[in-house]
Structure 1
Amino acid sequence: MKTENIKLDIAGMTCEHCATGIEKMLTKNEGVTEVKVSYQNGSCECSFDPSKTSKEEIINTINSTKNYKVAHTDETKCCNTNANHFDLIIIGGGSAAFSAAIKAESLGLSTLMVNGGLDFGGTCVNVGCVPSKTLIRAAETAYHATHSNFSGIKPKGVAIDFAQVIKDKKQLVATLQKKKYMDVVSDFHNLKMLTGWAEFLDTKTIVVDGKVKYTALKFIIATGATTNIPIIEGLNEVGFLTNVSLFDLEEKPESITIMGAGYIGLEIAMAYNRLGVKVRIIEFTDRVLRTQTPDISEALETQMKNEGIEILPNFRAIKLEKKENETIIHCKCPDGSFTQIIEKGKIVVASGTKPNTQKIGLQNIDLKLDKTGHILVNEKMETNLPNIYAVGDVTNTPAFVYTAAFEGKIAVENAFTGANNEADYSSLPWVVFTDPQVAGAGLDEAQAEAQNISFEVSKLELNNIPRAIAANDTRGFIKLIRNTETDKLIGARIVAPEGGELIQQLSMAIKYNITVKELAESFYPYLTLGEGIKLAAITFGKDVAKLSCCAS
């Protein structure tokens, strides 16, 4: 192996930690074999394989940091002035990509963001979190205008202007897409944004739309995920919808059949049913929200059936065909027989998601994927290639907008500052926005058992919580899981109206090793749903039904 050496003068170092950080940062560059940085002398000696890296890349890596710069010497005259070369190229335009771009700008990195598919802003603002949650809230307003928990309150009904609801949703999406994404980066001096499809030619080069090539020191893949369309005969011919197209449909469908009972399918089902659409769900497994324990599924199924939603578990669609204005869904039933379901309205596919790893040239760089096609990353968002990072839904990490944004930030920090920031999701809070909501953090009992943890469960129905009793709404429960050896809280699951508002407290308790005893002995305002956490903690040792109000 041929080796070359370079000696550089570096400005901006203030301590030995700076020198150590630069050494760690440079050794991450493919081809760098040895680095010695002296804080006292303000110098750097670096050996590298010229077939894998160059003096230019080493210098640009240092110059891309916020605090350190290479002094202009004869050694630095090789610096690239190519307008198509960047410190960082981000492939994707969602929350993870914007978070990475914001961090890159703060570090003074020249950055290119290339986005194809959805508009800048990605899934969350355009077709995911924002439109779905505003439609859910609109639907709740309609529902409460026709349903009361109190015999003395008799609602008189509601007039639903479906087209206006969708138009308002579109306006909200446009406003937030502009204010929270495009306006945020509008004054960035070092960011260039392109609309187009990026494809890797090698580990240092991409081509956009098959025309223009761009190179970079580091890359971040943030291409997200999209609906996984199952392979079913006739499906592509019947004009199915996904959340992307459904949320823009201004004409209210007479009915919809949703294929899939995961969180996306369930949120759509409840929202559209309450907006006056007849809803049916076909689920090929035995229950809704199959990733959670059966008691959670049962609570949701009970509520949804009470609202008139038809749920068909263990039904598998094997063929779809169009006959005039109807869609015929041929299904295999739980007992092995076959039946035909007639849908006069729309077919909505909500059968999970798949990572967007196609068409970006991964076959040219030998990037490792897991068995589901997600990019494999470690806790630092590093892939198997030293100059390529991946973040967000395209990776094998939890698929939430807030985790994606966090990953975008730490990927840039780890790539360019020598930081070793890691994503720890052991206490990650999450929410499914059905009604009642489902929220969780940490382990459930099945996961604790799989990890051979000695655990105990306390499950408190909402009919034991004064706030729920006073509101005449006792749907759901609070479930806590504790380690019996340490008494520390290791997990929580909540099914309750607005239950998502409680989960952050329990996430923090798990993260900071709070014991169940401490939860039980803390103060909680009376007649809040949060008091249910205290009561659930007490239930590990006492029957709360035998306690007076506020007693412990």
Structure 2
Amino acid sequence: MKTVQVDVAIIGAGSAGLPAYRAAKAAGASVILIEGGPHGTTCARVGCMPSKLLIAAAEAAHAASHTAPFGVHVDGPIRIDGREVMRRVKSERDRLVGSVLDSVEAIPAHEKLSGYAHFIDDGLLQVGDHTRVRARSIVIATGSSPVIPQKYRALGNRVIVNDDVFEWNDLPRRIAVIGAGVIGLELGQALAYLGVDVTVIGARGRVGPLSDPDIKDYAKKIFSTSFRFETRAEVEAVERIGDSVHIRYRNDGGNVIEESFDYVLVTAGRKPNFDRLGLRNTSLTLNHDGGPAFDPNTLQVGNQPVFIAGDANGVLAIQHEASDEGRAAGTNAANFPRVFPLIRRAPIAIVFSDPGISMVGARYADLAPGSFVTGEVSFEDQGRSRVMLRNRGLMHVYADKATRKLLGAEWIGPDAEHIAHLLAWALQMKLTVDSILEMPFYHPVVEEGLRTALRNSVAALNATE
């Protein structure tokens, strides 16, 4: 057993850990990067990128099967080859992972360790059965893992999580998706567009991240045209029968429905990866779920030289946020006891569905009633959207009554991922809705729908004066 002494030890070499390593190095600290699992980041291996590859195939299939309204007729039915779809998904996924592996390979050998790390004491880690690391500061960037509720665990290889989808060699015939969050909606719709019979079963009325009741109701109707969508259902029993899964559930109307599926895809949330860390061997203050109690502004655990970044802290499980947190945690670890708060960017969330869902700034549910006005636009008769036959969507923007500043927005509609960036930039610049309307809006573009919503918010503000 060898012992290594460094200024900063970073546990986890993913979307937060790698930036933490680079930031600590840039601050002049001696650093060691520890990884027990596969390298390549969750985003590249089983998250953002492979899911977008599957969605891209789904969009191609959907577009090819909806050309007739334009007067463009394709002879014969569209043929979807599941093996070819998955072959491209895995091939491109491997290429993306490879680029991350190249960056890890470039790290000097003495600055990285392979093996799972756990605390022996404050500031002392054991990595695998071969190395002990004594560090002045430690960054926990161990990521998160999908949660599989107990009732599904007896299903063996018939219950899967999103990670497993990207290892398929072919597409299944029927699948049940448990959970109507972002992952459930994205993968559920993508598989449905690729010819899979999909049922999405939610429990609490959730439709992705949406909190605005009107937008949520509209989105539910949209997704119900892609797959069977039960937003408020109770799964009463699941049973594996051969290579199938039999599910009995009670829907919102009280009806009991029984169906069989090839797989059950569980998208019921994720939990931080703390199980292997031995946190109880330290003097760190732990919260009710066994994770470290930390300051979300500085990412520091209590007053200790320990920082937690990325999905492990559960604040914002988004790639660019994990990267920002990693840099902040690495910098603070290197400079401890001088610790600085993280300056966060404007909140932005995107669901890569059809049409897309976006949220910017404050959620509707978090705004104080009576303190804001809402500007609305329907994309159903919006010029460019109608031209492209992509005219489905409803948008709400929220403006503060006192300052006229943009507070946030929630919507489902065409090109939502691009419009979201415009609004996030405006929000980060603390612009009023009047100032945003002074910006150029070309004709004819989908962004003219945003202009309509902003104009309606201005009219509502003026009516309150």
Output one character per residue of 1:139-193: Cα deviation in whole Å (capped at 9) or x when no partner. Answer: 10011010137342234443322222222222222222222x2222433348632
Contact 1:149–1:473 under 8 Å retained in 2: no
Question: Distance in 2 between the 1:505 and 1:262 partners?
Answer: 24
Question: Distance in 2 between the 1:406 and 1:453 partners?
Answer: 34
Within a 5 Å distance, the mapping from 1:292-441 to structure 2 comes to 292-307=211-226, 309-334=227-252, 338-343=256-261, 345-371=262-288, 375-378=292-295, 379-417=297-335, 420-425=339-344, 427-441=346-360
Contact 1:235–1:319 under 8 Å retained in 2: no
3-state SS, counterpart of residue 342 of structure 1: strand
Question: Distance in 2 between the 1:333 and 1:159 partners?
Answer: 33
Q: Is residue 2:33 matched to residue 1:122?
A: no
Identity over aligned pairs, percent: 27
Task: Quote the offset at 1:385 in angstroms.
Answer: 4.5
2:389 corresponds, among 461, 472, 483, to 472
Q: Is residue 2:441 matched to residue 1:521?
A: no
Aligned to 2:379: 462
For structure 1, which segment, 453-462 or 295-304, has the greater mean C-alpha deviation from structure 2 after superposition? 295-304
Task: Quote the offset at 1:305 in angstroms.
Answer: 2.3
Aligned to 2:144: 225
Aligned to 2:53: 134
Task: Quote the offset at 1:278 in angstroms.
Answer: 0.9
| Cα pair distance change 1:500/1:110, threshold 3 Å | same
Question: Distance in 2 between the 1:233 and 1:500 partners?
Answer: 34
Output one character per residue of 1:306-333: Cα deviation in whole Å (capped at 9) or x when no partner. Answer: 23x1112322223321223321123344
Within a 5 Å distance, the mapping from 1:16-165 to structure 2 comes to 84-117=4-37, 119-148=38-67, 150-156=69-75, 157-165=77-85
Question: Distance in 2 between the 1:388 and 1:240 partners?
Answer: 36
| Cα pair distance change 1:145/1:538, threshold 3 Å | same
Output one character per residue of 1:234-285: Cα deviation in whole Å (capped at 9) or x when no partner. Answer: 6444631111112111122111111111100111101111111111111112
Question: Distance in 2 between the 1:141 and 1:393 partners?
Answer: 31
Aligned to 1:532: 449
Task: Quote the offset at 1:215 in angstroms.
Answer: 1.2
3-state SS, counterpart of residue 513 of structure 1: coil
Q: Match of 1:444, as an amino acid?
A: R
| Cα pair distance change 1:401/1:506, threshold 3 Å | same
3-state SS, counterpart of residue 435 of structure 1: coil
Aligned to 2:124: 205
Question: Distance in 2 between the 1:521 and 1:124 partners?
Answer: 37
Question: Distance in 2 between the 1:204 and 1:447 partners?
Answer: 39
| Cα pair distance change 1:455/1:140, threshold 3 Å | same
- Structure 1: gaps (5+ residues): 1-81, 544-552
Q: Match of 2:392, as an amino acid?
A: R
1:184 corresponds, among 99, 103, 109, to 103
Structure number with greater Rg is 1
| Cα pair distance change 1:104/1:268, threshold 3 Å | same
3-state SS, counterpart of residue 134 of structure 1: helix
| Cα pair distance change 1:335/1:235, threshold 3 Å | farther
Contact 1:93–1:120 under 8 Å retained in 2: yes
Question: Distance in 2 between the 1:469 and 1:346 partners?
Answer: 37
Task: Quote the offset at 1:497 in angstroms.
Answer: 2.1
| Cα pair distance change 1:346/1:353, threshold 3 Å | same
Q: TM-score, normalised by structure 1?
A: 0.77
| Cα pair distance change 1:234/1:167, threshold 3 Å | closer
Across the two proteins, how many residue pairs are aligned to each other?
456
3-state SS, counterpart of residue 539 of structure 1: helix
Task: Quote the offset at 1:97 in angstroms.
Answer: 0.6
Output one character per residue of 1:513-541: Cα deviation in whole Å (capped at 9) or x when no partner. Answer: 21111122322111122222222111124
Contact 2:181–2:209 under 8 Å retained in 1: yes
Q: Match of 1:217, as an amino acid?
A: R
Contact 2:155–2:245 under 8 Å retained in 1: no
Aligned to 2:91: 171
Output one character per residue of 1:180-227: Cα deviation in whole Å (capped at 9) or x when no partner. Answer: x22224333486323321111111111122443211111100011111
Aligned to 1:61: none
| Cα pair distance change 1:261/1:209, threshold 3 Å | same
| Cα pair distance change 1:488/1:293, threshold 3 Å | same
Task: Quote the offset at 1:399 in angstroms.
Answer: 0.8
Contact 1:440–1:493 under 8 Å retained in 2: yes
Output one character per residue of 1:359-397: Cα deviation in whole Å (capped at 9) or x when no partner. Answer: 210111143444455543321111114211100011041
Output one character per residue of 1:387-436: Cα deviation in whole Å (capped at 9) or x when no partner. Answer: 11100011041110110011111111122236654334472112111111
Output one character per residue of 1:111-150: Cα deviation in whole Å (capped at 9) or x when no partner. Answer: 2222223x21221110000100111011100110101373
Contact 1:105–1:190 under 8 Å retained in 2: no
| Cα pair distance change 1:155/1:539, threshold 3 Å | farther
Output one character per residue of 1:92-114: Cα deviation in whole Å (capped at 9) or x when no partner. Answer: 12110111122233334332222
Q: Which has the higher contact order (CA 8 A, sep 6+)?
A: 2
Question: Distance in 1 between the 2:94 and 2:42 partners?
Answer: 13
Contact 1:91–1:222 under 8 Å retained in 2: yes
| Cα pair distance change 1:271/1:425, threshold 3 Å | same
Contact 2:180–2:200 under 8 Å retained in 1: yes
| Cα pair distance change 1:368/1:393, threshold 3 Å | farther
| Cα pair distance change 1:131/1:362, threshold 3 Å | same
- Structure 2: gaps (5+ residues): 461-465
Q: Match of 2:400, as an amino acid?
A: N
